[in-house]
Chains A and B, each alone.
Chain A
Amino acid sequence: MSIDVAVFGVMFVVVLGSSIAMLFARNAVHVALFLVVTQIGLAVAFLLEGAYFIAAIQIIVYAGAIMVLFLFVIMLLGVDRREALNEPLRGQRPLAVGLAALLAAEVLYVAYKGSDLITTGGGSQALQDLNADPGNVKALARVVFSRYLLPFEVTSILLVVAVVGVMVLARQMSAISPVSARSGSSVADKEEAA
């Protein structure tokens, strides 16, 4: 019985509690804030499992950058808009919860049954040695820039495609909105000239 067990217990309660609170929060901003709490709790889980660099990245990228983007869009679309509660498909919500409970039972069964099957490698001790000798960041960098070099380069293509796609979408966005009607090259301007 060590301090780790206590930390794990607190982390478990915080992560699970705030994820369940996400389901019941009516306001989109509250959902986003509960998600931030969940992600910080997960960073603690990563620390417990010896993934130190991932824990830092989790807080910087997820809880920082991505969630700020979410909050930005929520603010842009209006915070106080209520979510519609009607069900277009009758009985969809009870069915969803029932099927999800089934999924949870399956996943928990697999986690219970399979957790001792996969320990074929060096186990926890080998990762501890890796974290001690080259260090977590160095060990990660060696693997990323050798064995996973091609996937790493491909992700850069993915990011470029995403940036170009968003730029195209943003141009369409300014073509619809009335603010940009006098900005020059929009369709509405040409129609006015004709």
Chain B
Amino acid sequence: MKKNGTYSRGTSLMRDALRRFVRNRLSVTGCIVLLFIITLCLAAPLLTPYTYDYQNLSSGATPPGAQHLLGTDILGRDLFTRILYGGRVSFAVGLCATLVSVLIGVAWGAIAGWYGGKTDTIMMRFVDIAYAFPFTIFVIILMVFFERSLLLLFIAIGAVEWLTMARIVRGQVMALRHQEFVDAAIGLGLRQHQILLRHILPNIIGPVIVYATLTIPAIMLLEAFLSYLGLGVQPPSSSWGILIREGTESMETYPWLLIFPAVVLSLTLFSLNFIGDGLRDALDPRSSRE
């Protein structure tokens, strides 16, 4: 209570979190860099006269210059263009696969945590076993043995990355399950799915967002890794993983072919990780000590 009978307006949790996030210089820088890269990728057709598969063998392997901002590869394809179009693929894979993993993970974790008992034991047992499964191997097997399509790539990667999400959500739901406002909602006669949707989900959104932001770079990394092995996106399409693979093949003679894609990928991963860290500190005040 404050003097003069006025009450100070309580800062809402979200506004508080936003203020903490904005104060974190690293994550704000991350946001700016990421937005810049995404904008460039989206605006690719406006920024470059070439297409990603336009070949001009007579100007193959040109170093960076006025004609080709970041140079060209051996087939004379413009590297700048290929990085931008490749970025679209990399971001698309990152976002879609994250979405898949969030959906599976949240549903799995919420059901296990909510029903508890035998359901929980069986479902979490499955997660435990899956954890012991060498999953990168699983993705490699999938990609080798089945048709290499982008869709399959989304599913394969999404199926790998949901385990931790399920564990986090389950823990949160378990903790919420036994709190009084949930008992109150049950007492009021709300249906279970109503309670889950209206009372539980809003409360677990914070950790889910944080973990999802940290999943995106992990998935983009996995995509790049698969493309690097030749199992991901197929040429002539480009993705950052493919560009890096092509770059390493000729890094002694044409180092820019490795360095530029590598820098862009690393910058993106840095930004996403800093944003994720910033969000975690902002949404979980306990973890941000001063």
A and B from one complex: no
What residues make up the interface of A, taking CB atoms closer than 8 Å to B?
A: none
